[in-house]
Amino acid sequence: MIEEILIEQGIGETRTALIENGRVVELLIEREEAGPRAGQLYLGRVVRVEPSLQAAFVDFGAEAHGLLPEAETAGRALPAEGQAVLVQVMRPPIADKGARLTARPSLPGRLTIYRPFGEGVAISSRIDDVAERDRLSGIVGGGDADGGTIVRTAASNADASAITQERTALLRRWSDIRARADRSKPPCLIDDDADPVERALRDHAGPAVRRVLLDDVETLAAARGYAARYAPDLVDRLARHDGPEALFDAYEIDREIETALQSRVGLRGGGVLTIEQTAALTAIDVDSAGDVGGRDRTETAFRTNLAAADEIARQVRLRGIGGNIVVDFIRMGGRRQAGRVTDALTAAFSSDPARVRVGRFSELGLVEISRQRTRTPLADLMLEPAAEAPRRLGIPALRAQALRRALREALVGPPGRIVIRCAPPVADALDDASIGRLSGRAGRVIEVCPDSAYERERIEIAIA
């Protein structure tokens, strides 16, 4: 369970780190210039129906048309070409793949999720107390005139009035969405969902969270306002990070990001994971990184595989990897050890909010994993397109890094003008709007100096 949430508010970028058992398990990076994201609702228009795929392609305003499977349509039948349709992004565009859409949207609150085209009531499987499940079922058991409700883990021990009020607010929101869609012309955005900070609090700040640290006064005030309205129990757990180091530096989050962009990861107690992402699947190899010969070979392999199982689950979630994953563990002594490794792998994924299926060892000694795609992989956010070899940090990531470092220096450095010296492609990405926002937040004049002698990754911040 998530124990701590760190939120760093940059210029045009919000970075959130989720901490579990003292380690980062998930990184959420959202930039204002990014395209469609999961949860947004659009009014789109069907441009093509593909019976062979049992799906329709929908123009909803993105660069690439989204895919609407027949199973995700409100009437379980594909709309006709040219028809307007209200859709929600299930999975954002990834690389050359368009977004995956649904016409059966879900509206999440902190305690419940309202599904306008669903039925009945479902209680989170993580609430295992029978009496509490019965209580929650009783609160929402009357159902709504239309739709269904999912009761989230955070609803455990929540006041009945809080649950009822939230459900009422979600019903009102759905009514507003339908009204906006009725008077809009496709393609257009109908509902943007909550902002990144509110989503982090809504979706991840459960009962186990001890504190939420934010690095910006205004962001903290907004978070407290959201908590006061929708999650009063969270208010006392919100705090500002005011240490001498930047928030992500203090928790070594940037080091975790650097590691998550590498193909090789060391294991505790020895051993190495090699993680290679391709268009078709992600391949993970487990290596002992040492001699495992002799009488203890199988025991060493078993211990390394157990350590690998735990780290694989963390790295997959940290990197935002979805789709098909194949793991090549070290060969062991027999079925009993193999079963314990796959059981450990399943347990390691148990806290992952994405849907995950873990298979057993195949005849060739491989383990298959299927993980729901919920967001853009970290590598695609941070690096140049996969076709580039070797992959290096992309311009959007370097732009965000320059703004972040300049703001950091402005807040802690001596008085003076802030000078950002960088390569011309990065300087071009530092547009007037972002520099103006940086200047306003820093309270200083900002100067960008492109230098053709600088390598693209070289960024220097100085005070003049």
Going by C-alpha positions, the residue among 2, 5, 11 that lies closest to residue 401 is 11
Q: Structure tokens of 141?
A: 């058991």
Q: Does residue 279 surpass a pLDDT of 90?
A: no
Handedness of CA 399, 187, 54, 193 (dihedral sign): positive
Q: Does residue 387 surpass a pLDDT of 70?
A: no
With residue 450 as reference, give the H or E element that holds it: strand 446-450
Task: Give CATH for domain 41-105.
Answer: 2.40.50.140
Contacts of 314 (CB under 8 A, 6+ apart): 23, 25, 348
Q: pLDDT: is 335 or 8 the higher one?
A: 8
**What angle do the packed helices 297-319 and 253-260 form, to 10 degrees?**
110
What are 89's strand-pairing partners? 101
- According to CATH, the topology of domain 1-38+193-260 is Nucleotidyltransferase; domain 5 (3.30.420)
Select the CATH number that applies to the domain covering 395-463 from these four: 3.40.1260.20, 3.40.640.10, 3.90.650.10, 3.40.50.12500: 3.40.1260.20
- In whole angstroms, give the CA distance from residue 190 to residue 44: 10
Q: Which residue has the tokens 């949860």?
A: 39
- pLDDT the model gives residue 63: 87
- pLDDT the model gives residue 450: 96
Q: Does residue 120 surpass a pLDDT of 70?
A: yes
- pLDDT the model gives residue 280: 84
- pLDDT the model gives residue 294: 46
Q: What is the mean pLDDT of the chain?
A: 90
State the average pLDDT over residues 67-94.
90
State the CB neighbour count (10 A cutoff) for residue 164: 15
Query: 36-59 burial, b for 16+ CB within 10 Å, e for fewer?
Result: bbbbbbbbbbbeebeeeeebbbbb
State the average pLDDT over residues 389-397.
84
pLDDT in tens, 89-106: 998 887 778 899 999 999
Q: Structure tokens of 351?
A: 């806290």
pLDDT in tens, 208-240: 899 999 999 999 999 999 999 888 989 999 999
State the average pLDDT over residues 27-56.
91
- pLDDT the model gives residue 310: 94
Select the CATH number that applies to the domain covering 263-371 from these four: 1.25.40, 3.40.630, 3.30.1340, 3.40.50: 3.40.630
Domain positions in the chain are 1-38+193-260, 41-105, 263-371, 395-463
pLDDT in tens, 319-365: 999 999 999 999 887 888 999 999 999 999 998 989 999 999 998 88
Query: 173-197 burial, b for 16+ CB within 10 Å, e for fewer?
Result: ebeebeebbeeeebbeebbebbebb
Would strands 41-50 and 55-59 be described as parallel, antiparallel, or unpaired? antiparallel
